[in-house]
Amino acid sequence: MEKEEFVEARTKLDKTQKEMSQLLGVSVKAIYSYEQGWRSVPTHVERQIFFLLSRKRGARNLSKAKPCWTIKKCPPKRRRECPAYEYNAGKFCWLVNGTICECKAQENWKEKMKICRECSVMNDLL
């Protein structure tokens, strides 16, 4: 997550830097550092921000959302191998590591998010 995206998320969540630090369980100094680009946003913080953004908009969109395996037309074998399917997290697949997106499990969070940022499953909830 780049600094501009972090600031945009904080703005969408309508939080001050202090409120954001309390919400994410980090120091105000950390928030300031993320926004200045002095420090990269850790994976666990980025994941929590995406979750909070999805819930901010969430209730009205979540009821209409289809699971990822339906949208992506995953065959039964791939579904059975995917943790999003196993844990019935098809609307929140972008929160789960090891999902089989683009026909393979991604190596790390950064690679996964590159795909997720372009995916309608995530974007429809954010």
CA pair distance 126, 13, nearest whole angstrom: 11
Question: What's the CATH code, domain 1-56?
Answer: 1.10.260.40
**Domain layout of the chain by residue ranges:** 1-56, 65-126
Spell out the residues 6+ positions from residue 53 whose beta carbon is closer than 8 angstroms to its own: 9, 12, 13, 125, 126
Least confident of 36-45, 80-89, 103-112: 103-112
Nearest partner of 99 among 61, 71, 57, 124, judged by Cα? 71
pLDDT at 6: 94
pLDDT at 59: 52
- Predicted confidence (pLDDT) per residue in 15-53, tens digit: 999 999 999 999 999 999 999 999 999 988 998 998 898
